[in-house]
Amino acid sequence: MSDVVSRPALPIVGSILRAPEMLSVLRILTGLLFLEHGTGKLLGFPAGLPFIDQMPGGLLYTTGTLELIGGLLITIGLFTRPVAFILAGFMAVAYFMVHFPQSFFPAKNYGEPAVLFCFVFLYLAAVGSGPWAVRRD
């Protein structure tokens, strides 16, 4: 019985896609995607982010700074747990401030990215950075 539980269903996949490394891949890709929001708001690249022209200046610079610095720290794996915890809260606040008032359903209020970022950051806050990081925590 224990032999069945300990063997992966697909040995080749299990040897290539190992959980610790995939955690690092998840962290790096999440950080890069989040960083893109910050560069779009603060540096204008990529240009044409939706709804950016409707944001008040102070909110634009505050959110852009959190996204730029937080995305960079998550990408390189520096202070992953505390930064991810702060960003999870930031995304929860963003969802309830911006998206939730439009509709209860994330598919209708365009809030799916905020919800996904929130829970991926919460996961990273719980498990840490993975093996490919500047500072493992």
Q: Convert the pLDDT of each residue in 52-63 to its tens digit.
A: 888 898 999 999
Q: Reply yes or no on whether the pLDDT at 68 is more than 80.
A: yes
Q: How far apart are CA 4 and CA 130, in angstroms?
A: 27
pLDDT value at residue 10: 64
Q: How many Cα neighbours within 13 Å face the side chain of 90?
A: 19
Average pLDDT, the chain: 91
Q: How far apart are CA 19 and CA 25, in angstroms?
A: 10
What's at 123, amino acid-wise? Y
Residue indicated by tokens 């829970």: 119
Q: Reply yes or no on whether the pLDDT at 3 is more than 60.
A: no
pLDDT value at residue 5: 53
State the pTM of this model: 0.87
pLDDT value at residue 45: 92
Which of 59, 27, 67, 77 is CA-nearest to residue 43?
Answer: 67
| Mean pLDDT calculated for residue range 92-121 | 96
Number of H helices and number of E strands within the chain? 7, 0
Q: How far apart are CA 88 and CA 118, in angstroms?
A: 4
